Structure 1
Amino acid sequence: MTAALTAFTVPTRTLRALATTEPCAEGTRLVRDVRRSKRLVLLRAVLDAAPGGRSGATADHWALLEEAERHDPGAVRDVLHYPATGVWAEETLRRLHAPYGPPADLAHLGALAAAAALRAGISFTHTLRPLHGRLVLPTLGVLRPGPPGPLALTERSWDPDDPATLPLHALPGGRTALDDLDPYRAPGPARPAPLRPARRLTPKGHKRWDTQWSGALTLLRRYDTARAEETLQLLRSVVPLGGASRSHGATLPAAAGSVLARTQAPPALAATLVHEVQHGKLTALSDVLTLHTADRTARHWAPWRSDPRPLEGLLHGTYAHLALAGYWQRAALYGARGAWAQHARIRAQVAAVLPALHADERLTPAGREFTDSMAAAERAMDELPPPGDQHAAARRAVDRERRAWCEKHPELAPFTQV
């Protein structure tokens, strides 16, 4: 699939702009274009691998998608590029090529087609079979038909006011959905327990999320308008994490354009969104540009983690924390309580690992250009330093943490030095 994306070129100017983590029009456009191209390649691979993909039910589903696209390309594009669709497509392709295991859920392609047709407003009739009394229509919600058995859908089948429907919850202030319905909103059983999505929320749970989301957007717009706009452009859905999760947030490559997050106060949620959006940007860039040739061996110190990290993980973590350091610096300049301490701590962490990251021999020329620009962005923060000796104190604290980590992992100590 990566080979099919080699047609993308990343100008040096765009690469450097993305490396700073600062939002820019060309960077946002590249991320969105890469995601769309990758999704289309993936969907085509599913169709090609499906048994009888050119005939039968699968072909009928695809034909309905094409008909809907002729009437409303935007509606179909939103359904096909919805984050959960990517999770379904990757899982389906994996199952189609697996000799054993559960069968591929090709019937979900019919749900995608029906959702696209409903949103396009075309006249159609399409028969689907609900699962456990529910029929998921991506980007719309869930239908709960009465009698069991196949359901003939038409253009009149979706009524948000009908008690038989569960509409997908829209968060205020944009087109981002709070997805607690789609069965593919997060990868399947193999996902780690801390990243399991919450079950369907109650109206009270939706209201809590509305309040926290609105508060987070207000803070983002106050402190960093460009990052607020970037968040709304690149984030199509938020998936609530289950109550047992201790993770603030996560981004999964299969669900491009989505963030898993737990409920949290607006200041923490705003920081989580800034952090997770960067992972999505770097993932898209890495799909079309090789930044390093390292394997997945975990041997690097990262001050925001207790466990050793592979180079890829270190690069992602440094990139996301660089954005956080810039966000908290702007928040501090607006007088946000505790923001200078947050900025100083996170910037010191980034500064501590950038030299080792940049010196790694497995970086490609593009990767070295990228880390060069990251380091330049970190140094530029000197123009607006925190008051007193907060930055120096934070650096000393991080140095102590590094020494303690090296004592705990003596065999890995060389990888923390330049």
Structure 2
Amino acid sequence: MIALVPDLHDIVQQRVRGLAIVSSQGPDYDTSHSEPAWPGWIFVSIPGRGVRGALRLAEGVIHEAMHHNLTALEHQLPLTLSDDAIYSPWKQETRTASGVLHGLYVFVCLAAYFHQICRQACVGDASRARIAAILEEVASIDRARLEAALSESGLRFCQALYDSAMFLRSNHG
């Protein structure tokens, strides 16, 4: 499923060198995790078989690969100036500005992935549903508070992510 988007597939291949399987809370719950201290390693649960399961697994792998990708960028270019606590719609708790920026990046990347593959008949409805859910969560971020904690480079990066989200919104209602 990831290979359907070659540029993304290249990033995943570059950033993921090892994958460990973890358990999840149940068949309808996906678990994934990565640690900046372990670059290249991701931890994902394995959902059920079939197209829907493959799509969920692809999302978990992409999600963690994008965290590693952004961490590599942060090592070269500081994106945040402070670790202000900002509400994260994904964690449903406050996180550091860097954590919220990571969430924004990862989920905008996922929405773009789903946009690229939504023309595939077998995943179209599921892809459109994920795009809508992601964009709703992106819209709930306190953008002004996030931007106040970002460096100049971080601001430009954040603006590009919001521009991408706006493009996706305009193309998916």
Instruction: Give the TM-score normalised by the residue count of structure 1.
Output: 0.37
1:269 shift after superposition: 0.7
1:58-112, Cα deviation, whole Å (9 max, x unpaired): xxxxxxxxxxxxxxxxxxxxxxxxxxxxxxxxxxxxxxxxxxxxxxxxxxxxxxx
CA root-mean-square deviation? 2.2
Q: 2:75 aligns with which of 287, 291, 301?
A: 287
1:359 shift after superposition: 3.3
Equivalent position of 1:396 in the other structure: none
Q: Is residue 156 of structure 2 the alignment partner of residue 369 of structure 1?
A: yes
1:307 shift after superposition: 1.7
Looking at structure 2, the residues matched to 333 and 355 of structure 1 have their Cα atoms a distance apart, in angstroms, of 31
Closer/same/farther in 2, CA of residues 258 and 366 from structure 1, 3 Å limit: same
User: Helix, strand or coil: the match of 1:250?
Assistant: strand
Unaligned runs of 5+ in 2: 48-52
Q: Is residue 67 of structure 2 the alignment partner of residue 254 of structure 1?
A: no
Looking at structure 2, the residues matched to 359 and 258 of structure 1 have their Cα atoms a distance apart, in angstroms, of 30
Equivalent position of 1:100 in the other structure: none
1:288 shift after superposition: 1.8
Equivalent position of 1:133 in the other structure: none
Instruction: Give the TM-score normalised by the residue count of structure 2.
Output: 0.83
Looking at structure 1, the residues matched to 95 and 55 of structure 2 have their Cα atoms a distance apart, in angstroms, of 28
Closer/same/farther in 2, CA of residues 244 and 333 from structure 1, 3 Å limit: closer
1:350 shift after superposition: 1.5
Looking at structure 1, the residues matched to 38 and 7 of structure 2 have their Cα atoms a distance apart, in angstroms, of 23
Question: Is residue 88–residue 94 contact of structure 2 (8 Å, CA) maintained in 1?
Answer: yes
Equivalent position of 1:323 in the other structure: 109
Unaligned runs of 5+ in 1: 1-218, 386-390, 392-418
Question: Is residue 322–residue 378 contact of structure 1 (8 Å, CA) maintained in 2?
Answer: yes
Amino acid at match of 1:373: A
Equivalent position of 2:50 in the other structure: none
Closer/same/farther in 2, CA of residues 244 and 234 from structure 1, 3 Å limit: same
Higher RCO (C-alpha 8 Å, min separation 6)? 2
User: Helix, strand or coil: the match of 2:43?
Assistant: strand
Amino acid at match of 1:321: F
Question: Is residue 17–residue 41 contact of structure 2 (8 Å, CA) maintained in 1?
Answer: yes
1:273 shift after superposition: 1.2
Write out aligned runs for 1:23-62 (5 A). Answer: none
Closer/same/farther in 2, CA of residues 271 and 261 from structure 1, 3 Å limit: same
Looking at structure 1, the residues matched to 12 and 130 of structure 2 have their Cα atoms a distance apart, in angstroms, of 21
User: Helix, strand or coil: the match of 2:91?
Assistant: coil
Looking at structure 2, the residues matched to 266 and 340 of structure 1 have their Cα atoms a distance apart, in angstroms, of 16
Closer/same/farther in 2, CA of residues 345 and 329 from structure 1, 3 Å limit: same
1:274-332, Cα deviation, whole Å (9 max, x unpaired): 1111100111111121111213x5x3222212222121111111111111111122222
Aligned residue pairs total 164
Larger radius of gyration: 1
1:382 shift after superposition: 4.3
Looking at structure 2, the residues matched to 338 and 242 of structure 1 have their Cα atoms a distance apart, in angstroms, of 23
Amino acid at match of 1:256: P
Quote the sequence identity (%).
23
Equivalent position of 1:199 in the other structure: none
Amino acid at match of 1:289: L
Closer/same/farther in 2, CA of residues 302 and 363 from structure 1, 3 Å limit: same
